[in-house]
Amino acid sequence: MLDGPDTNEGVWKSDHMVAQWVATATERERRRAEQRRLMADLLPFAYDEAFTFVDLGAGTGSAAQVVLDRFPRSEAVLAEYSPQMAAEGRRMLSGYAGRFEYVELDLSRGDWPPEVPTGVGAVISSLCVHHLPDRRKRELFAEVWQHLAPGGWYLNYDPVTTDDPVVATAWLRAGDRQDPEAAARREHPTPEEKIRHENHVRYMIALAPQLDFLRLAGFEGIDVYWKQLDFVIYGGRRPVEPDDPRRSGHRRAGG
């Protein structure tokens, strides 16, 4: 974690920063295709099942889009607080008209608007929970639980930190070999890269406390379903009712 003022809103509500994000989206999504697909693979729905899911901090909808593709009768509620990201998302998702809506939601606060339905089949988030202070991460997971149907899943794809300097060095070593320009960017950042980086790491924490927050919220089936260096996909489901046949874990969630 980093001291200093919270710059998150300034970054994500800046025309310039969002334009930069959108300009680099294609290359980023190429690298993240496997993780996007896995999030969809983990959802317990049949191909032609109708269900609603929520994407928190949805940005331009890159994570939601893969779920919409995988399950052609699914519908997405894209929760986002940046008008610029939502505007880009509406444009990029125009081919899915009628299957998604953007809802304004500030995740740093606990008051979810009524446009975000309860009893949804799944909630996903990607690359956004690390922008929240710990108290809000913990509260958010409880709010997600409350919005899920029994048996509904929550999955989060996010970067994490480590307290172990040996692990941190190994992550850096491998990361630098995979991206030869990373070391130069880290050592000589442009003013904009510095702002982005500080905002990126400000509230980032280790994996273990985040799994604890899921447990505290009441999730079951908690696991780190994917991990590579400092990036993870973790999640779990809201338990089903005692007489629900899905207790065995083999059947689908409602939605």
Ligand X SMILES: C[S@@+](CC[C@H](N)C(=O)[O-])C[C@H]1O[C@@H](n2cnc3c(N)ncnc32)[C@H](O)[C@@H]1O
Strand partners, 159: 231
Residue 127 binds ligand X (CB under 6 A): yes
Does 235 sit near ligand X (CB under 6 A)?
no
CB of 29 to ligand X, least distance (A): 8
CA-CA distance, 156 to 125, in Å (whole number)? 5
Question: Which one, 78 or 214, has the nearer CB to ligand X?
Answer: 78
Q: Check binding of 82 to ligand X (CB under 6 A).
A: yes
- For position 199 contacting ligand X by CB under 6 A, the verdict is no
For ligand X, give the closer residue by CB, 31 or 227.
31
Residue 75: beta bridge partners? 52
- What's the CA gap between 247 and 239, in Å, rounded? 8
The residue among 57 and 254 lying less far from ligand X, judged by its C-beta, is 57
Dihedral pair phi/psi, residue 60, rounded to 5°: -90, 5
Please check whether residue 52 is in contact with residue 75, taking contact to mean a CB–CB distance below 8 angstroms. Answer: yes
62 counts as binding ligand X under rule CB under 6 A: yes
- Shortest separation between residue 239's beta carbon and ligand X, angstroms: 26
User: CA 98 to CA 55: how far, in whole Å?
Assistant: 16
Interface with ligand X by CB under 6 A: which residues?
A: 8, 12, 57-59, 62-63, 80-82, 85, 105-108, 126-128, 131
